Structure 1
Amino acid sequence: MLERRTAERVRTLYDEYEPLVLISILWFLVQFLRFAFPPLFGTFQTEYDVSNTETGLLFTSLMMAYAVMQFPAGLISDRIGRSRSIALGAVLFGGVGVAILLAQSFVLLFGLAVLMGATTAGHKTISINMVSNRYPDRTGWCLGILDTVGQFGGVVAPLAAVAFLSSIGWQWTFAVGGLFCLLLAGISETRVRTIPVSSRTREDESEDEAENVRRRYLTLLSDWRLLVFIVVTMAFTFAWNGVSAFLPLYLTAQKGISTQLSSVLYSAFFVVSLSQLITGKVSDSIGQLWVGFGTFTGMVATVAGLLFAEGVLVVSALTLLLGTTFHSFRPVRDSYLMTLIPNDIGGGSLGIIRTGMIVVGATSPAVVGFVADASGFRAAFGVVFVAVSLGGLLTGTLAVLGR
């Protein structure tokens, strides 16, 4: 009898969190496919005879396509249901991952990278809305789980890239990830019930109603707290993309770390995303802004340390601390945004915000790559320092005045 009750409780618990489990695994695969690119920049430069600027531009273009598609994906999810939108996106980006097997030139690889960005665009925007709706009292904690599982895609990606590079070819890194995406898309579509958020259909939506929706978007975007926090998210995303794109090269070129150790540290940089479980839970209890300010303070200190520190042990420790502080901000950011955004236009609203955030962030790899080519990696990471300093200053201002 006791075993039966235990089994029933486990089953009930799993049923409750099954949507979170499925979208988290898919987010893992999205991050895996995306962060398989930076560890292969050196390989691309050798195989395709391209520069830091060109590889940086590839990643910037991927992120720009990701940004442009945020609003359309969010808007569609408000109409057809979030779980169905997630499954459809997984089919598309899974197919692109498999297609990278055909990338025989840098131009073709570039085009597929752009498609990768476009097809993965909807997943995070839609997932944040789904999590905040299904788990309103545990939003920060659940978003911490979502992002932590996702960031482990960044842990596995460089290790998988090195393994496939030395065996059957780096292209299989993306192909294997794509095949798993297709499998998870089918499971998600059959297991998670999709519910359209908007009760209106395209046929019965009048021009007056459409105008009312536009007015609601404009009213939302006139909230000064939201506008300031959008700038915070832009600064954070700019810094994050610059670090995540060039950290392996920075460690080898600027700090003299071996290629093997830099790959291990890059993986560890994502392992420490477990910190999100703590900051997400704490933010549910004491509020997001002060927790966010604390994480930015850590970012500023560790980026400054990496600019001047020397020695394998010190640089390794700072790299882990940098990963901890960057990841810790993510659930805080998303949870705070959802306190400001209404549910029925949540997909479109978050899509607009994430478009602006990611467009700015998408310029980072190209900017950091250009500055690295022109003035060296220390100057390039100095740009990252300025970005996190701005984000910390604005978050602290919101913490003091925004309530």
Structure 2
Amino acid sequence: MASLTRSPTARRHRTSPGNYEDATHDFADIIELDGAPSLANSANGSLTTRPTRSGRRARAEREPPTPSTGFIASKGARRAGILTDDRGQDPRAVASNSPYRLASSYGPPRSPGPAAASRPPLARACGTGRVARRRNRHLTPSITTSVADSVRSVVAELRAAVSDRWIDGPATVLAAVGLGWALSIGVRFVYPALVPFLRAEFDFGLSAAGLLLSLLWGAYAAGHVPGGVLGDRVGEGNVLVISAVVSTAAMAAVAAATGLAVLFAATIAFGLATALYGPTRFTVLTDLFPDDSGSAVGLTMAAGNVGNAALPVAATAAAGALTWRVGFGAFVPCFAVAAVGLRAAVPSRTSETDATVGDGSVRATLGRLRAGISGGAIPTIVAVQVSLSFLIQGFASFYPVYLTEAKGLSPATAATLFGAFFALGAIVQPTAGAFMDRIGLRRTLLGCFAACLAALWGLPFVDGLVPIAALTALFAAWNGTIVVTQTYVADTLPTEMQGTGFGLLKAGWMLLGATSPLVVGVMADTGLFDEAFLLLGAVGSVGLTIAVLKL
């Protein structure tokens, strides 16, 4: 019994009762040979045969993209455990040049002797010329059989490609992590879109709205510390699942809030729940994609921007047609689905060893963190990230309201521009990640940062839909800055405290940034909306100056 095996990855195919042999599983064809199936590698001529019942189909595994050449055999050839291709070539003649190894349950293949060498190739393959001549009528497949084989081959290749590249491949991890992140961050940006509905329901002003959003972002920042510690101690994949499960319950509580105190408390709970996702997703991606961490992070952050662009619009439509409670409550089952997907796709632990932080004390943790960030560009990157965090939290929390109250645009137009900012971010972020992998951190960061600041400084001085839309598109370059800064920090911290260290750092810069919505809200209530956005530009300019001088 001859069989094809290929290390390193293989599936098991049954060749006889109680006997299994490995076969490669990159792609699969279905080939009918004289009413009985055989396994064959059509890319290089090496193959596998197995005794089965007549009329059944078997897989033929091969490497893409070489098209199938088709293998033929008589019953005598199948009994001998040998096939030939349609040119009459002995596949054993090319097996030595194949990446696969030819094995036989009847022993190693034998070289043809001097007498056999004088026979035609097909006769040698079948064992005798008599058998080959007797079975010659089976060697030419009909056109119908060839077409059927081709159709089955295409279907099998598509099925194998889907399995290998999407179900079993890294794309599954990226999709699961991206979905969880799209919900975690996208629902946070649902809050600014639903602020008018919340103000009407609970009767509060822009200052209170700023406080609500500051508490949301502050809770999200504070939750990064336990999120990072849990990632190191119980496994990164487990933390992502916990985050999705707790977010499900918290979002249900937000949708059911009946008073202002309940709304604020449930919002804080949701911020803490989604915070578990924040630092852990970076460590998962940098662990699983060490050579392309920038691209992997950029792709998942782009998924987050898709959520940012789509979820506020969907929630606003639901709130307008029904009630704001539906706008929040619709995400409860979405988080539940994300939890199931993360459990199925992401390993429980992605780091090589159980990462800990020594004796677990705060002093020991801070000491190790201080040692981890003392060298390289991490201090500079953290300082830059503080300014970026302050800038975006103030901008995103009030941009739709700013466009309606300071620029005179309709709420629908303001919501469209707000969504466009995030939609463009879905393009900018993977692009920035790719540029970071190719041209380096400094040039990518400075280019994105300068572009978004130019837009922010110009925004208070323009009016009209076209100029505002152009500046909104330019400001979308901000989305590329965080790909660079956060990927660098997550990838540079010591492995033994990567989750904890990144969680502490991110909690610090986000807590500082969480003050921004409150500041902007108070200034807006006093008629200083333009000045509030200029303040955001000034803080961002400090960060850009640090990057230019220190990186």
TM over 0.5: yes
Q: Retained in 1: the 8 A contact 2:393–2:514?
A: yes
| Corresponding position of 2:521 | 369
TM-superposed deviation, 1:7:
3.9
Which stretch has the larger CA shift, 221-230 or 347-356? 221-230
Describe the SS at the equivalent of 2:377: helix
Task: Give the letter aligned to residue 484 of structure 2.
Answer: V
**TM-superposition CA deviations, 1:130-165 (whole Å, max 9, x none):** 001100111111111111101111111221122111
Q: 1:279 aligns with which of 423, 432, 436?
A: 432
Q: CA deviation at 1:340?
A: 2.3
Aligned pair count reads: 396
Q: What residue number does 1:289 align with? A: 442
- CA distance change for structure 1 residues 206 and 363 in 2, over 3 Å: closer, same or farther? closer
Counterpart residue identity of residue 287, structure 1 = G
Matched, 1:8 2:160: yes
Partners of 2:213 and 2:423 in 1: how far apart? 22
Give the alignment partner of residue 310 of structure 1, picking from 448, 463, 484.
463
Shift of 1:5: 4.2
Question: What is the identity, as a one-letter code, of the residue corresponding to 2:467?
Answer: V
Instruction: Tell whether the 8 Å contact from 1:239 to 1:387 is kept in structure 2 after alignment.
Output: yes
Distance 1:49 1:77, change over 3 A: same
Contact 1:143 1:334 in 2 (8 A): no
What's the CA shift string for 1:221-240, capped at 9, x where partnerless?
33363222211101001000
Q: CA deviation at 1:209?
A: 10
Partner amino acid for 1:270? F
Q: 1 or 2, which has the higher helix percentage? A: 1
Separation (CA, whole Å) in 2 of partners of 1:146 and 1:28: 8
Distance 1:309 1:210 in 2: 49
Q: TM-score, normalised by structure 2?
A: 0.69
Greater Rg by CA: 2
Aligned to 2:390: 238
Whether 2:285 is the aligned partner of 1:131: answer yes
How many angstroms does 1:13 deviate by?
Answer: 2.3
Q: 2:485 aligns with which of 325, 333, 351?
A: 333
Match runs of 1:2-401 below 5 Å: 3=154, 4-14=156-166, 15-195=169-349, 197=351, 199=353, 207=359, 215-223=367-375, 225-273=377-425, 274-322=427-475, 324-399=476-551
> Which structure's residues are more often strand, by fraction?
2
- 1:257-315 superposed Cα distances (whole Å, 9 cap, x missing partner): 11110011111111001111111101101111211011111111101110101111111
- What is the distance in 1 between the residues matched to 2:320 and 2:287? 44
Distance across 1 between alignment mates of 2:358 and 2:466 = 64
CA distance in 1, matches of 2:350, 2:447: 37
CA distance in 1, matches of 2:313, 2:361: 51
CA distance in 1: counterparts of 2:204 and 2:359, whole angstroms: 51
**C-alpha deviation, 1:107, in angstroms:** 1.7
Distance 1:222 1:201, change over 3 A: closer
Q: Taking structure 1 as the reference length, what is the TM-score of the superposition?
A: 0.93
Q: Structure 1 residues 185, 206: closer, same or farther in 2, change over 3 A?
A: closer
Matched letter for residue 111 of structure 1: A
Counterparts of 2:411 and 2:364 in 1: how far apart (Å)? 56
Q: Kindly state the Cα deviation for residue 320 of structure 1 after the two structures are TM-superposed.
A: 1.9
Q: Offset of 1:201 from its aligned partner?
A: 9.3
Residue segments in structure 1 that go unaligned for 5+ positions in a row: none
Q: Distance in 2 between the 1:132 and 1:111 partners?
A: 34
Q: 1:201 to 1:355 in 2, by over 3 A?
A: closer
Q: Deviations over 1:313-367 (max 9, x none)?
A: 1112211221x21112121122221342122211001001101111011111001
C-alpha spacing 1:375/1:167, structure 2 compared with 1 (3 Å): closer
Whether the aligned pair in 1 keeps the contact of 2:389 and 2:513 (CA below 8 Å) is yes
Q: Secondary structure at the match of 2:321?
A: coil
Unaligned runs of 5+ in 2: 1-28, 30-152
Q: 1:222 to 1:164 in 2, by over 3 A?
A: same
Residue by residue over 1:81-117, the C-alpha shift from the partner in whole angstroms, topping out at 9 and shown as x without a partner, is 1111100110001111122231122221111111111
Question: Does the 8 Å CA contact 2:373/2:493 hold for their aligned counterparts?
Answer: no
- Structure 2: how far apart are the matches of 1:133 and 1:376? 45
Q: Letter of the 1:257 partner, please give it.
A: L
CA 1:101/1:393 → structure 2, altered by over 3 Å: closer, same or farther? same
1:250 to 1:192, Cα distance in 2 relative to 1, 3 A: same
- Give identity over the alignment, percent: 25
Question: For residues 16-60 of structure 1, what are the alpha-carbon distances to aligned partners after superposition, in whole Å with 9 as ceiling and x for unaligned?
Answer: 221121010011111221111001112222221111110010010
- C-alpha contact 1:95 1:182 (8 A) present in aligned 2: no
Distance 2:410 2:247 in 1: 33
Check the 8 A contact 1:290/1:396 in 2, yes or no. Answer: no
Deviation at 1:195, TM superposition (A): 2.0
Are the equivalent residues in 2 in contact too, given 1:144–1:330 (CA < 8 A)?
no
Instruction: Give the residue type in structure 2 aligned to 1:118.
Output: L
- The Cα of 1:194 is off from its aligned counterpart by 0.9
Contact 1:32 1:177 in 2 (8 A): no
Q: What amino acid maps onto 2:282 in structure 1?
A: I
